[in-house]
Amino acid sequence: MTYWNKQKVEHYLFRGAVIAKAIEGFIELSVSIILFFASSEFIVRIIYMFFGGEFAEDPADFVASHIIHISQGLTHSMQLFIAIYFLVHGIINLGIALSLWYKNTWAYPVAAVILSILTLYQIYRLIYTFSFALLFIIIVNIVIIALLNFEYRRIRRNKS
């Protein structure tokens, strides 16, 4: 792959990652709104709707059994914490995505620092509460941090 093609591929991957971050932020904001206004019973019913069939089919299913177990012990304070976490994380993801989409040069290092801090916190959470979804988000964040670095260097090279 020539240098130009490699740069172009990295740029398109970066744009895709920015779109993915925006979608992730929108989903997190949506979930936070639901968590703020829904009752715990409603949330448990929704979780059973999505995972109950899988759990009934295979009670040893790791993901379904853990999600159902967690939902059954959902307290109001736990629900509030999760809602606030998703709200803050969603706002940050959308803010980063919009700033990067519009190529605000200041946003690249800021986004790298913020994503690094969030990723470190997610790694900390992963150590204590393993989740495949969280592991996936961590991996995506690490890839996005690398793409941020490539894109930022490309923009600085093009400006000089």
Say if residues 38 and 80 touch (Cβ distance below 8 Å): no
The pTM (predicted TM-score) of the whole model is: 0.72
Residues 6+ apart with CB under 8 A from 91: 25, 29
pLDDT tens profile 146-158: 989 988 988 888 8
**29 burial type by CB count under 10 A (0-12 exposed, 13-18 middle, 19+ buried):** middle
The dihedrals phi and psi of 59, each to the nearest 5 degrees, come to -60, -15
- pLDDT for 26: 95
In 3D, which of 148, 121, 150 has the Cα closest to residue 137? 121
pLDDT tens profile 85-128: 899 989 988 998 999 899 888 999 999 998 899 899 999 988 98
Say if residues 70 and 64 touch (Cβ distance below 8 Å): no
- pLDDT for 94: 92
- pLDDT for 48: 78
Residue 3 pLDDT level (bands cut at 50, 70, 90): low
Residue 4 pLDDT level (bands cut at 50, 70, 90): low
3-state secondary structure at position 39: coil
CA distance 112 to 116: 6
**pLDDT exceeds cutoff 70 at 1:** no
- pLDDT for 2: 56
pLDDT tens profile 21-65: 899 899 999 999 999 998 888 888 888 788 777 777 777 777 777
Task: Return left, alpha or beta for 27; rule: phi > 0 is left, psi -120 to 50 is alpha, else beta.
Answer: alpha
